[in-house]
Structure formats: structure tokens, C-alpha cells
Amino acid sequence: MPFSVTNQRNNTSFSTNENETILNAALRDNRVYPYGCRSGVCGACKSDLISGRVDYGEYEDFALSDVEKAQGKALLCQAIPLEDVVIDVQEIMTGANIQIKMLPCRVGKIKRLAEDVIQLFLTLPKTQEFSFIAGQYVDIILKDGQRRSFSVANLPEQALEQGLELHIRHVADGHFTPRVFDSMKERDLLRFEGPFGTYFLQSEADKPIIMIAGGTGFSPIKGLFEQAAAQNPNQNIHLFWGARDEQDLYMNDLVKQWLETYPNLKYTPVLSDSTADDWKGDTGFVHEIVSKTFDDFGNYDVYASGPPIMIDSVRDSLLEKGLNQDRFFFDSFEFAKPA
């Protein structure tokens, strides 16, 4: 039986279908609330449940603790109303132009960027429109129905020409990536669904920004940076890229080109495992280098994408130095679970 969901923040309402999560119902109603993994693990969709009962669904304890639940929080990607409910959440935007679609596509160009990273372009079908915002991700649907999530690395206008650009790291014993590395070829047919997530640029054009990428977390950061640079080529942006070794900075040359073009871009690559004598840059954990670069983060918008442990470390160390929690945007992709 359908229940109504009212968001008291902007006094809007929509209905859920039978067994439908609040997030899915909101997206169906073209409302975009903050979310990431859609599987109860990243915590990005955590919101205030003001009244009404919900089935809290399945989730990880670190995404929603018992204390938070007792305080009236719920994960909107998991919560299914059991009666009419009232929530309080910031609506980021209406999603009229970014409808989630399931589409066929063909593999376009495949390029090895590093020993274990491939740049894969997915050619969009000519007969179907597909819109997204830089930084969002898509799910590739495998033959057995499992999904693998990948951030889009290019801008929507570039994707029309080049296809969707994905950066794929080889996962040993993986279900999908060995195929990409061993046997995938141009014109292979795939299916994807998207776009998903709210990891997109939400900063004013004059706001100083810190971007932090861990490994292939550079993929959405590339889209976000190009979007920010298109909005304001003089925006003050400091990009940190944490990687194991130099070959892991698989688009270092592109960043060097950006440095020549954008006068207010600063770049700090950080290597955690480098043994090379000729590496003159920073070494260690990227969150430590970011943290010690600034005295106070209160004036910055921070975008971070990478492994969950990096996101948590960045969040903890920057909050201690004045970062406003609402200005921390993150994408911890490895959290995505198979369907």
C-alpha cells in the first residue's frame, strides 16, 4: 500500500510504492537527495526521520549506528515506510534532466593507462538521450544481473562525442574487471544503468576547493575539476592525488597540462609505497599531507573520492581542523555491493 513521504525542509510530498525505499520513490519523483552507494554502507543518504515508522532495511553499523537510529536517523536508500512519514533532508536539486535509465551501449576505445588501470569508453546509443552530471556514476549490468559501479570521468558534452569515460582498476579474482583486461574488445555490447549518486560540483564559482583522489578515485575528480574549470578558469583549487607509486598516477601528464592552463590550480601528488630515489614529491598517507597543508579548513569545500578508509581518514582529520561537515562531498566507491 502506498504511503506518503513529506520532506519538512521544503514542504514537499511524494508517495512510495509497495516495498519501495524512500530514496527510490524520491528519485522517481525527480527529487534528488544526497546519496552514494544505494546499499546501506556509505552513509551519504543518512537523514532525519521526524515521524512515522519505517523498515530500516539492511545496512552496515558504521553507516547508521544504534545511537544515530535512536536519535531518529535513517538511511533513505534502505528505509521503507510502514506508514506515512515525515523526513527532514536537503533537496539538492530536482532531477528532471537526469533521469535514471537502463541502456545498451558498445565498447568504444580501450586504453591501458597503467599496469592495472584501463580507460574504457562506452559509446552511447544514438537513438536514446542520456544525461548526467559530472562526477556521477553508472552501473554496468553483468549477464548474471550483478552490477559493477564506475564513476564517469568526462563531462556530459564530451561523453556525447567520445562515449562515457570510465577508469577501471584490475581486481584480482574479480567478476568483471579480468574480462575488461583480458578479452574485452571494441564494439562489444554491454548494458548499463544510471546515472547515480550526488557526488557532483556543489560549490560557488568563487569558493576555494580542495579535491582529493585516492587511486582511481581520480576518475570522478577529473570530471569535477573539468566542470569547475569550465565554470571559472580562475577558481582556487588544490588537487591532491594519493597513489601507491608513480605509475599509479596514471594521468599525471593531464594534470600537468591543467597546471599550465589554470593559474590557480595547485597539485600535490602523494605516494604511499614509493621506493624510487628520484621521487621528490610527498610521501605517506594523502590525508596526512592534506591535513598538514592547511591550518583551517573552515573556508573550503572538500571533494574526496577513493577507498572507504581514505574517505574516513580525510573526514576525521579535516573535521578536527574546522571543516564544515556539510561542505564535505565524498564518493567511496568500493562500498558498492553486487545486486
Q: Interface with ligand FES includes 75 (CB under 6 A)? A: yes
Could you say which of 32, 42, 118, 180 contacts ligand FES (CB under 6 A)?
42
* Cα–Cα distance for residue pair 224/248, rounded to 1 Å: 20
Residue 312 C-beta-side C-alpha neighbours within 13 Å: 9
Name the nearest CA neighbour of 94 among 45, 43, 26. 26
Q: Which is nearer to ligand FES, 45 or 314 (CB)?
A: 45
77 lines the binding site for ligand FES (CB under 6 A): yes
Residue 152 is a binding residue for ligand FES (CB under 6 A): no
Piece in contact with ligand FES (CB under 6 A), picked from 41-49, 106-114, 257-265, 318-326? 41-49
Instruction: List all residues 6 or more positions away from 215 whose beta carbon is below 8 Å from its beta carbon.
Output: 169, 242, 243, 244, 248, 306, 307
Count of residues engaged in binding ligand FES, rule: CB under 6 A = 13
49 is a site residue for ligand FES (CB under 6 A): no
Phi/psi region, residue 30 (left: phi>0; alpha: psi -120 to 50; beta: rest), is: left
| Under rule CB under 6 A, residue 81 binds ligand FES | no
Cβ–Cβ < 8 Å for 40, 60: yes
Give the residue, chosen from 3, 7, 43, 310, that forms a contact with ligand FES under the rule CB under 6 A: 43
Per CB under 6 A, 239 contacts ligand FES: no
The answer to whether 315 contacts ligand FES (rule: CB under 6 A) is no
Among 25, 26, 27, 45, binds ligand FES (CB under 6 A): 45
CB atoms within 10 A of CB 176: 16
Q: Which stretch binds ligand FES (CB under 6 A): 37-45, 207-215, 267-275, 309-317?
A: 37-45
Q: How far apart are CA 215 and CA 307, in angstroms?
A: 8
Give dist(CA 308, CA 321) in Å, integer: 20
- Residues of this chain that interact with ligand FES (CB under 6 A) are 35-38, 40-45, 63, 75, 77
